[in-house]
């Protein structure tokens, strides 16, 4: 289960020497067709890394022959020289694969504000091209890891076709679109426009609804490539469900591997006046450091949930708000509810339910607890 | 230097038995006049504690004879019964002081979602009233402490009059208005409307510009009381400056005592297209957990500053952004600037300067680093 699960794709992951550790740091995903349709969503951060600026242009054409991904450097805030590095990467990959550079997407992840060692990267491209295989998906998923502790892959099946994918991301996880580096592939025969529709529908309810630390990256990219190798033209509704299943699986893995986390927390908002308001309220809770610290301490501190809800402009009456933690309604109608000692927070998975009593809409946003481990990891990352 | 620095005020601080520790937990500030003018600003959180709901009504009258403040319980999310507790507190204080309950402001701080032990509180009111003295300001400042490690008081002088104040607050410090419990007093002869103008102008550039952890409280209250005992009618501009000086001093003390912090960080945004945009950008940086972790690790990670700036809609061109950390321009024109090894982050005070190159406005927002100490303190607070 990976980017090579679907027919028509090859992949590789090699150590190009970008990481001081010597671990794999360069991945290639090649679409052997017959179709080369592609769609992408990118960070909405206005400070965009060079590879994002490049790939956004490539995706406008709706055609991607290959994706080059590197860890060991984000190539963000590197100025015109950094953009030239991305351009050169695409040109070199295009030459090696005998395609047009305008069909090469590039993704980078790692430290911001550092130029990539281009000699090492271009050398790695040659090695990586030679290593391409139809079962190289796991190697590719491994090569894009940064602070990830495990590689992340997924697979799901439609009627006669396959969708597979890989993701990296453990910190700086907050959406606005996308949230990390993700490549999803399919052997279904789907044109670029329909891919785009399916991908946006899928990311809206998956990657856009994980928020580990409220920090939006400069490099977030989610790509969906179709080879058409199954020769199956899928039902659009089913295709969207299958793509969503793969994205949901990967998104859940990102939360499960978030930096320093000891809890995976689903903040579920129900009875909202609209889905947008449900998301707004859920996001306010997921971004409350005090709430996240309480979760780390196994403390069902519902007051911190309510104080976060109160910062939003969603429709609700404060004295009709109710909150359940792992199924125990510790707050009812804006006041004290059931005994908080009934709440069992010893497991890794936590569900916080906020009832706005304002309508019929709902949404869930996933987050993590805030831990000393998160602080340690992110205070030492670049040193 | 305290709420009793100005003539015409008495204060006290006693142990009413609200805190399990037995520490002082009930403060009284009484305005002996001849004037009883007052103004207040309150949290903009829509989930407002009972004492905030009460005091907002009191302040509409522009007259405050006394303020009752308690630590050991926020009386927030306690429903109609909690509001009755606040009402009863005001009535009891009014009876003891022989004034109207409609002239008694009430402030509470501590855990959300727990009823106050009213017998203890009402008993403490009697003790507190008996303990009122013209030099009781420090006792009062001590009695409102929660996780504060030091009491916080300030004083400044105008032409013939004094302004003094006290504050509590160490976590859940983020504005929207006010940010904590603050009482400022003056013996200048100023009517309620002019007090309101001066207070709003002062809080806008002081308490509204500290953001320790991005979490907005349900109880934030800042009160300004005038006794007129100096018989001096101040120049309005000078008066505003003096009130601002006291508020700035107290705000700075709040940041200096923030939970678990090892750094006090001034995020200064310059050359913004407007002051609002400067504040928006500064606030985005102060709310980046990744930036705050880097500061804890003495890591001049300017990429995390830029990625936070990029989440705003302030006017700027990404390739014209520059960032200095403690005076070293580590990022110039959106790319790598001076050597980051030149940045000395060993001291407690840090200044981060963001140059938007978009206009002539500027603003500074204060924050702290994010530390394991913050996580520990806030994961164990209620247990």
HEC-encoded secondary structure of A11-72: EEEECCCCCCCCCCCEEEEEECCCCCEEEEEECCCCCCCHHHHHHHHHHHCCECCEEEEECC
A115 with B374: Cβ contact below 8 A: no
* Residue B144 lies inside a defined structural domain of this protein: yes
Within this chain, do residues B67 and B121 fall inside the same structural domain, yes or no? yes
pLDDT of residue B175: 45
Q: Give B83: exposed, middle or buried? Use CB within 10 Å, 0-12, 13-18, 19+.
A: middle
Stretch B227-248: mean pLDDT: 96
DSSP letter, residue B216: P
Tell whether A34 lies on the interface with B, counting CB pairs under 8 A. Answer: no
CA atoms within 13 A on the CB side of A232: 19
Say whether A367 is catalytic.
no
pLDDT tens, residue by residue, B281-294:
999 999 899 899 99
A378 with B308: Cβ contact below 8 A: no
* Residue B1 lies inside a defined structural domain of this protein: no
Stretch A62-78: mean pLDDT: 94
pLDDT of residue B378: 82
| Confidence bin at A175 (pLDDT 50/70/90) | very low
Segment (H or E) for B175 = none
Enumerate the residues of chain B whose CB falls inside 8 A of the CB of residue A338. none
Across the interface, of B213, B293, B335, the residue whose CB is closest to A375 is B293
| Confidence bin at A176 (pLDDT 50/70/90) | very low
pLDDT of B86 > 90? The answer is: yes
Stretch A80-108: mean pLDDT: 97
CA distances from B160 to B3, B146, B186, B198, B230 (A): 17, 35, 11, 18, 7
Stretch B314-340: mean pLDDT: 95
| Confidence bin at A174 (pLDDT 50/70/90) | low
Tell whether B380 lies on the interface with A, counting CB pairs under 8 A. Answer: yes
Among the listed residues A36, A109, A102, the one whose alpha carbon sits nearest the alpha carbon of residue A73: A109
* Residue A2 lies inside a defined structural domain of this protein: no
Within this chain, do residues A185 and A275 fall inside the same structural domain, yes or no? no
Tell whether B360 lies on the interface with A, counting CB pairs under 8 A. Answer: no
pLDDT of residue A178: 34
B218 with A288: Cβ contact below 8 A: no
DSSP letter, residue B378: H
Within this chain, do residues B248 and B293 fall inside the same structural domain, yes or no? no
Enumerate the residues of chain A whose CB falls inside 8 A of the CB of residue B323. none
pLDDT of B45 > 90? The answer is: no
* Residue A3 lies inside a defined structural domain of this protein: no
pLDDT tens, residue by residue, A20-36:
999 999 999 999 999 99
Could you tell me which residues are beta bridge partners of residue A157? Answer: A162
Tell whether B338 lies on the interface with A, counting CB pairs under 8 A. Answer: no
Interface confidence, given as ipTM, is 0.84
CATH classification of the domain holding A240: 3.60.70.12
Domain extent at residue A309: 264-379
Token reading at A205: 């309810």
Within this chain, do residues B364 and B222 fall inside the same structural domain, yes or no? no
Within this chain, do residues B31 and B168 fall inside the same structural domain, yes or no? yes
* Residue B3 lies inside a defined structural domain of this protein: no
HEC-encoded secondary structure of chain A: CCCCCCCCEEEEEECCCCCCCCCCCEEEEEECCCCCEEEEEECCCCCCCHHHHHHHHHHHCCECCEEEEECCECCCCCHHHHHHHHHHHHHHHHHHHCCCHHHEEEEEECCCCCCCCHHHHHHHHHHHHHCCECCCHHHHHHHCCCCCCCCEEEEEECCCCEEEEEEECCCCCCCCCCCCEEEEEECCCCCHHHHHHHHHHHHHCCHHHECCCCCCCCCCEEEEEECCCCCCCCCHHHHHHHHHHHHHHHHHHHHHCCCCCCCEEEEEEEEECCHHHHHHHHHHHHCCHHHHHHHHCCCCCHHHHHHHHCCCCCCCCHHHCEEEECCEEEEECCEECCCHHHCCCCCCEEEEEEECCCCCEEEEEEEECCCHHHHHHHHCCCC
pLDDT tens, residue by residue, B131-166:
999 999 999 999 999 888 899 999 999 999 999 999
CA distances from B246 to A89, A204, A290 (A): 58, 48, 28
Across the interface, of B217, B290, B318, the residue whose CB is closest to A307 is B217
A307 with B216: Cβ contact below 8 A: yes
* Residue A308 lies inside a defined structural domain of this protein: yes
Within this chain, do residues A44 and A112 fall inside the same structural domain, yes or no? yes
> Which member of B86, B142, B179, B371 is catalytic?
B179
A-contacting residues in B 245-284 (Cβ below 8 Å): none
A215 with B289: Cβ contact below 8 A: yes
Across the interface, of B81, B297, B318, the residue whose CB is closest to A383 is B297
Enumerate the residues of chain B whose CB falls inside 8 A of the CB of residue A172. 290, 307
B-contacting residues in A 98-157 (Cβ below 8 Å): 111-115
B334 with A79: Cβ contact below 8 A: yes
pLDDT tens, residue by residue, A267-304:
999 999 999 999 999 999 998 998 999 999 999 999 89
DSSP letter, residue B265: E
Best B178, B179, B290, B329 member to test A by mutation, with max A CBs in 10 Å, is: B290
If one counts the domains in chain B, the total is 2
* Residue A4 lies inside a defined structural domain of this protein: no
Within this chain, do residues B152 and B300 fall inside the same structural domain, yes or no? no
pLDDT of B214 > 80? The answer is: no
Within this chain, do residues A297 and A243 fall inside the same structural domain, yes or no? no
Examine the fold and report which residue of A228, A256, A284 is the final residue of a domain before the chain moves on: A256
Stretch B359-370: mean pLDDT: 94
Within this chain, do residues B203 and B282 fall inside the same structural domain, yes or no? no
* Residue B4 lies inside a defined structural domain of this protein: no
Contact call for residues B274 and B313 (beta carbons, < 8 A):
no
Better pLDDT: A60 or A176: A60
> Which member of A179, A244, A367, A371 is catalytic?
A179
Q: Which range, of A11-15, A137-141, B172-176, B246-250, averages the lowest pLDDT?
A: B172-176
The residue length of chain A stands at 383
How many Å apart are CA B181 and CA B219, to the nearest integer? 8
Within this chain, do residues A19 and A114 fall inside the same structural domain, yes or no? yes
CATH classification of the domain holding A319: 3.10.20.340
Better pLDDT: A111 or A178: A111
Within this chain, do residues B319 and B171 fall inside the same structural domain, yes or no? no
DSSP letter, residue B101: G
With a CB cutoff of 8 Å and minimum separation 6, the contacts of A237 are: none
Examine the fold and report which residue of A215, A240, A256 is the final residue of a domain before the chain moves on: A256
Examine the fold and report which residue of B256, B281, B314 is the final residue of a domain before the chain moves on: B256
| Confidence bin at A383 (pLDDT 50/70/90) | very low
Within this chain, do residues B309 and B206 fall inside the same structural domain, yes or no? no
Enumerate the residues of chain A whose CB falls inside 8 A of the CB of residue B114. 336
| Confidence bin at B177 (pLDDT 50/70/90) | very low
Enumerate the residues of chain B whose CB falls inside 8 A of the CB of residue A334. 47, 77, 79
């Amino acid at each position: 289960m990976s980017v090579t699960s679907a027919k028509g794709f090859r992949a590789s992951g090699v150590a190009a020497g970008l990481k001081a550790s010597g671990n794999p740091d360069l991945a290639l995903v090649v679409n052997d067709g017959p179709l080369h349709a592609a769609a992408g969503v990118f960070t909405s951060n206005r400070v965009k890394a060079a590879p994002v600026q490049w790939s956004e242009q490539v995706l406008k054409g709706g055609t991607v022959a290959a994706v080059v991904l590197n860890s060991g450097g984000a190539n963000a805030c590197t100025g015109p020289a950094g953009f030239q590095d991305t351009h050169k990467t695409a040109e070199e990959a295009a030459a090696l694969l005998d395609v047009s550079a305008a069909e090469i997407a590039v993704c980078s992840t790692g430290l911001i504000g550092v130029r990539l060692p281009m000699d090492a990267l271009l050398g790695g491209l040659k090695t990586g091209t030679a290593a391409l295989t139809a079962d190289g998906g796991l190697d590719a998923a491994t090569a894009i890891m940064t602070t990830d502790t495990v590689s992340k892959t997924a697979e799901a099946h439609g009627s006669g076709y396959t969708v597979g994918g890989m993701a990296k991301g453990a910190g700086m996880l907050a959406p606005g679109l996308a949230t990390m580096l993700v490549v999803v592939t399919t052997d279904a025969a789907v044109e670029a426009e329909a891919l785009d529709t399916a991908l946006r529908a899928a990311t809206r309810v998956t990657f856009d609804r994980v928020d580990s630390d409220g920090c939006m990256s400069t490099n977030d990219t989610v790509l969906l490539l179709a080879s058409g190798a199954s020769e199956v033209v899928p039902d659009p509704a089913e295709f969207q469900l299958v793509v969503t299943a793969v994205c949901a699986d990967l998104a859940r893995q990102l939360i499960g591997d978030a930096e320093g986390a000891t809890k995976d927390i689903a903040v579920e908002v129900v009875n909202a006046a609209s889905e947008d308001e449900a998301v707004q309220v859920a996001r306010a809770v997921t971004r409350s450091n005090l709430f996240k610290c309480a979760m780390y301490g196994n403390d069902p501190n519902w007051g911190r949930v309510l104080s976060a809800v109160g910062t939003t402009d969603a429709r609700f009456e404060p004295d009709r708000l109710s909150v359940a933690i792992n199924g125990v309604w510790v707050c009812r109608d804006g006041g004290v509810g059931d005994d908080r000692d009934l709440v069992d927070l010893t497991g890794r998975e936590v569900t916080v339910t906020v009832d706005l009593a304002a309508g019929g809409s709902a949404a869930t946003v996933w987050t993590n607890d805030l831990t000393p481990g998160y602080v340690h990891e992110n205070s030492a990352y670049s040193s």
